[in-house]
Chains A and B, each alone.
Chain A
Amino acid sequence: MANCDTSRPSALARSDLWVGAALFVIGLYACWEASGFDDSSRSYPKILGGLLAAAGLAVALTGLLLKADKALCLAGPLRSALPAAVVISLWATALGAGSGFVLPTLLMQAALLWLGGVRGLLRIAVYAALITAAAYTLFALMLDVRLPAPAVSWLV
């Protein structure tokens, strides 16, 4: 997070406040959800949820009270990781929709290579083809993994 502003953040911009709040909400939700389980199955997750909510509250309070907390900084992750997550989600959707393995994987690789900073259409195409071919050889041919099947026969 080298690009974050390192000056002392305001109370609402402190990361631990939000992290603690998120943990608190998750813990409470787990408690509430566990209340719907049968008698024998509910106590263990309910205790864990309660403890998580308490830990979240403690993190939020320390974030609010201690001045050493860092500012919340999401610019880098949003610009780098989020597009990659979207690309992988689209790839998984395409695999599930019966587009076969090769075409969606080529496109995913091209997009990830571009996001990684590789430039030049030919270079991207060659790298994407090599990575896809290597993965296909390793998983489908050598390890005998049944890769997602295409909906139409002419796709691989």
Chain B
Amino acid sequence: MDLIALGFATLFDPSVILMLILGVAAGMVVGSIPGINDNIAFAVFIPFSFAMPPEQALALMVGVYCAAAAGGAIPAIMIKVPGTASALLTAVDGNAMARRGEAGKALSIAMTSSVIGGIASSLILLVFAPALATVALRFGYVENFALAILGMSSVVGLLSGNVIKGIASGLIGLLAATVGFSLTTGFPRFTYDNVNLIEGIPFVPLLVGLFGIAAMFELLADIWQERKAGRSVSALPTIGSMRLPRDLVRRLLPVWAGSATIGNLIGMLPGAGMLMAIFLAYDQASRRFHRCFAGKPGETDWGEGAPEGIAAPESANNAVTASSMVPLLSLGIPGNSTSALFIGALAIHGMVPGPLLFTQHGDIAWMIIVAFLIANLVMWPIAFLVIKSVSRSIFAIPKEAMVGVIALLCMLGAYADGANIFNIWVALVAGAVAYAMRLANIPLGPAILGLILGPQMESSLSNSLSMSRGDWLVFIDPVNHPISAAMIALSLLLWLLPVLGHWRRSRRAGLSQEAALPAPPRP
């Protein structure tokens, strides 16, 4: 308790708390720029922190880290271009809701969900940090492969149409993730002697293209069709009221709780990353929506503006921000790429994350933990201020002019990742491929998940197999790898449940049809 009080005392120095608030505001604005992902937003602020005392610098970084993940939802909802990778699923239902004239409500759901996820995660970090770190230590290659399989299995919840196309999409993502040097031997694969591809397809430009450039193409096609049909070009959605009705809050409470739990669990696993948490939470929310609300009067389809489709990924992504600090602060192992940058921020000020951090710099370590809680508390009013002022002005730009704005922001966002013109080509090609996939009704979600999980899946598979001398049963060994066996069982369940559900529905439909048939005449 004394240590927590020490953290609060360090944080509540006026200059430190001011830096935290500044970080939240800046992170929210920067995060809402398409192409500037959490990593870039964080990296941009590291140089600013050089000259500051460690407390101020780290408070600033915590603010940026928390808010950038939430800010990405703003353009995702308004123009279907995720500001950060963490908002890629928010774009689906969020933009659909905005196009229905409920942009304010969608933004409010996103921000409230982020804050709830973040606060839940901060409290977990505050109370359980040292204990939870021991769970993370039990994850080896076998468990990481099982985790990747579980992540890929979550795509089942994303597939509403042609399942084979969804599987093909996932395979495209996994295949694209093999581009670059082989993880086992260093052999260049699918690189065609291009040095820019030796470390794989650059991820930030790829993501910017898949979402931003594809969204620009869609916008142009919309405008072309509206003009061809003789209609005047409709405006971009206006933000409008941001009030959340009480019944909607009640409806979303279980989604927030479930998604925050998933975010916390995934966040503290080293290397699992924010995106896997988002996909798993989205999958769970989709199942709940189909079970409780789909087909009822006044309800939209999943992916067409369902509030759960915004609440789940936003709650999960901010739950990851603090929980990814569990392995970092306790063991020195980063939970995701942005928290890895935190090691750099700490190192600049002469600190090494790990158990020694709590003994040598207890005030700073506990201040960071407390700062996550306060950053999430102040994020809610700041988010509303940013949306009402900065975002409202940006999205007042006419739809026709928005084409150029999106193209330039996305292309420069892609270019900024390493100041390389090759990245612009990657974004353009990725945008064209994503647009072609949309035209062909191939879902994009599984491909993204494949891209993210691909390297982890391949390396953990090959390492597990070489450790077990080629024994594939190692993944379902309940004695030596119970966590892996449980995750594989859960993955199987994720695939089987929709099939069983479909079978039960068709059986029930068959029975009711039989009952409705007139009785055969008696002889």
Contacts and interface: CB of A to CB of B under 8 A. Distances in A.
Given A55-B168, A79-B224, A40 B400 contact: no
B273 to A, nearest CB: 20
Contacts of B213: 88
A84 B216 contact: yes
A127 B421 CA distance: 25
Interface residues of B, number: 63
Contacts of B189: 34, 37, 41, 45
A80 B223 contact: yes
Contacts, number: 173
Q: Which of A79, A145, A146 has the most CB of B within 10 A?
A: A145
Contacts of B190: 30, 33, 45
Interface in B401-419: 401-405, 407-409, 411-412, 415-416, 419
Given A1-B439, A84-B403, A109-B404, A77 B221 contact: yes
A128 B16 CA distance: 41
Given A48-B174, A112-B407, A40 B182 contact: yes
Interface string B221-237: 10111011100010000
Secondary structure type dominating chain B contacts:
helix
A155 interface: no
A3 B225 contact: yes
Secondary structure type dominating chain A contacts:
helix
A127 B221 CA distance: 21
B168 A23 contact: yes
Interface stretch (B129-137, B159-167, B326-334): B159-167
B217 A84 contact: yes
A155 to B, nearest CB: 16
Interface in B386-430: 398-405, 407-409, 411-412, 415-416, 419, 421, 424-425, 428
Given A56-B168, A59-B162, A80-B223, A116 B400 contact: yes
Interface of B: 33, 36, 44, 47, 162, 164-165, 167-168, 171-172, 174-175, 178, 182, 184-185, 187, 189-190, 213, 216-217, 219-221, 223-225, 227-229, 233, 398-405, 407-409, 411-412, 415-416, 419, 421, 424-425, 428, 431-432, 435, 439-442, 458, 461-462
Given A19-B165, A27-B171, A116-B404, 8 more contacts: A16-B162, A45-B178, A52-B171, A76-B225, A80-B220, A81-B220, A85-B217, A135-B408
